[in-house]
Structure 1
Amino acid sequence: MSRWDGKTKGSLTGYKIFLFFINTLGLNFAYYLLRIVTFYYYLFASKPRNALLDFYQNTLHIQRAGAKKLVRKNFYIFGQTLVDRAAFLLGRNEQFTHTFENEQYLIDIRDQGKGGILLSAHLGNWETAGNLLKGRITPTINIVMLDAEVESIKQYMDLSTGGSRFKVIAIKNDLSHIISIRNALINNEFVAIHSDRYLEGARYIELDFLEKKAKFPHGPFVIASKFDAPVTFVFAAKNGKYSYHLSATLPITSKMKPEEIARLYVTQLEKKVKEYPEQWFNYYNFFN
């Protein structure tokens, strides 16, 4: 896969199977089944496997044997994050715990009353971790995303689990999502945006990332620069079988240009990728 196409991959049958096993046999069995499923993907999903191998070997400079092990671990943990997401939607979240580094920053943002913009990435599992926080810091978290999931899978998940516990702000060509973001911030709500993937043909900011040139989407950083709301970079990595480590950076409260915010973001993203390389979930050639 040379570029990201904006679509979430997955099989409707696969979702049905895992929802059934989570409901009937629990998370442990679902995790056991994942080992078989993700090993199959490791063997036959050549494009994402090769993209990860290239990233680990040529960007993080990991020897080939270690890179192969890391790819297998990556596929397995990614499967776990999907199972964890379904478990939360099904109300099977009693086993999960978390720690939050700099949680006070989000509390301070909430107390300012201007809402908050949370810039994150496809590293770890922010949605599940956000479920751990909901009601503790804020009653409402909005996620800005391309509404491009395979429709049959989305319908089945909504039917089987009641849908996401978040508000979804879908990115539209008519820019109506900007109004939705503005309204959420006026209501002192948090708005989370993944800021690491861009679509071919869209505006981008090219920056040094892990000593290579990479393109990042322009939109999230424009939004972060235009609204009068604090901006923080948040990440949530799985750090145990049923546990997550969340972190937030010191909020940006002064006016900054999109490019300045993007550079700060990339610095934090580099740190997280080095800390949790097995949770880098971008399965395409990330660089030019």
Structure 2
Amino acid sequence: MSRWDGKTKGSLTGYKIFLFFINSLGLGFAYGLLRVVTYYYYLFAAKPKKALLDFYQNTLHITGPEARKMARRNFYIFGQTLVDRAAFLLGKDREFSHVFENEQYLIDIRDAGRGGILLSAHVGNWETAGNLLKGRITPTINIVMLDAEVENIKKYMDLSTGGSRFKVIAIKDDLSHVISIRNALVNNEFVAIHADRYLEGAKYIEMDFLGRKARFPYGPFVIASKFNAPVTFVFAAKDGKYSYHLSATKPIEAKMKPEEIAKLYVEELERKVRAFPEQWFNYFNFFQ
């Protein structure tokens, strides 16, 4: 897996098993089962493990034994985030708590009435943490994404849990998603976009990231620069068994070029990765 292919991995049987255990035996039991499942993946998922070890050893300069320990923990926490997502959809949100650093920034964006663009990354778990905010700050959060989950898994999750609580704006070749983003902002809604993965063949911007050259998708930064809406970088990481730490940066109000926004975004992403290195969930060769 030298590059991200835009597809979500997973098996229908695995989803069914964990939904059953969450419903019947609770989160604690599901977490315990995860230790076995994720250790199996650590042993046999060679390509994702190799990508993680490269990231920890050659980017964050973590020693060999410690890097392997962190890779194992990474797989386990990633499994927890998937279980947490399902738990929220099953109505078990009361079992979670969170703190929100700079929550007032999002309140100010909402009160300004122009909507807001939230740029995030595959560090931690924005979807579950976003569920903690929905209804508290805004009734509607739109997520711009590739609708690339395996179809039978997505269908089963929708039937079993009612599906995501977010509005999904699917990225389309005809650029109709740009109109959907505009409409959401006009309605004073938040639009969340992950800005750390690009598909091969798509336009990208090359940036210095943690001392190495990396490619980031150009589209999110173009969107952030073109619309008359504040832009903030929002992240959410697990900071306890059933708790999350959310953060937002001071909103960008002035017009900026895509490259300028990308530079600020990468600087914030570096801070988050250093703070939560075990929650870096990009399982491919991120660098060229």
TM-score of the two chains, using structure 2 as the length reference: 1.00
* Within-5 A mapping of 1:117-128: 117-128=117-128
Q: Which runs of 5+ in 1 are unaligned?
A: none
1:3 lines up with 2:37 in the alignment: no
Separation in 1 of the partners of 2:259 and 2:10? 34
Separation in 1 of the partners of 2:16 and 2:192? 28
Deviation at residue 126 of structure 1 after TM alignment: 0.3
3-state DSSP of counterpart to 1:174: coil
Residue 82 of structure 2 aligns with which residue?
Answer: 82
1:253 lines up with 2:253 in the alignment: yes
Residue 70 of structure 1 aligns with which residue?
Answer: 70
The one-letter code matched in structure 1 to 2:133 is: L
Residue 115 of structure 2 aligns with which residue?
Answer: 115
3-state DSSP of counterpart to 2:208: strand
Separation in 1 of the partners of 2:231 and 2:201? 26
* Within-5 A mapping of 1:136-175: 136-175=136-175
3-state DSSP of counterpart to 2:262: helix
Residue 181 of structure 1 aligns with which residue?
Answer: 181
Separation in 2 of the partners of 1:278 and 1:41? 16
TM-score of the two chains, using structure 1 as the length reference: 1.00
3-state DSSP of counterpart to 1:179: helix
The one-letter code matched in structure 1 to 2:189 is: E
The one-letter code matched in structure 2 to 1:201 is: G
Separation in 2 of the partners of 1:94 and 1:232? 27
Q: Which runs of 5+ in 2 are unaligned?
A: none
Measured against aligned partners, the alpha-carbon deviations of 1:236-277 in whole angstroms (never above 9, x if no partner) come to 000000000000000000000000000000000000000000
3-state DSSP of counterpart to 1:25: helix
1:13 lines up with 2:13 in the alignment: yes
Aligned length: 288
Percent sequence identity is 82
3-state DSSP of counterpart to 2:287: coil
1:266 lines up with 2:266 in the alignment: yes
Residue 219 of structure 2 aligns with which residue?
Answer: 219
Separation in 1 of the partners of 2:93 and 2:29? 15
Measured against aligned partners, the alpha-carbon deviations of 1:164-207 in whole angstroms (never above 9, x if no partner) come to 00000000000000000000000000000000000000000000
Separation in 2 of the partners of 1:15 and 1:64? 33
Across the aligned residues of Structure 1 and Structure 2, the Cα RMSD in angstroms comes to: 0.3
Deviation at residue 9 of structure 1 after TM alignment: 0.5
3-state DSSP of counterpart to 1:154: helix
Deviation at residue 94 of structure 1 after TM alignment: 1.0
Residue 208 of structure 1 aligns with which residue?
Answer: 208
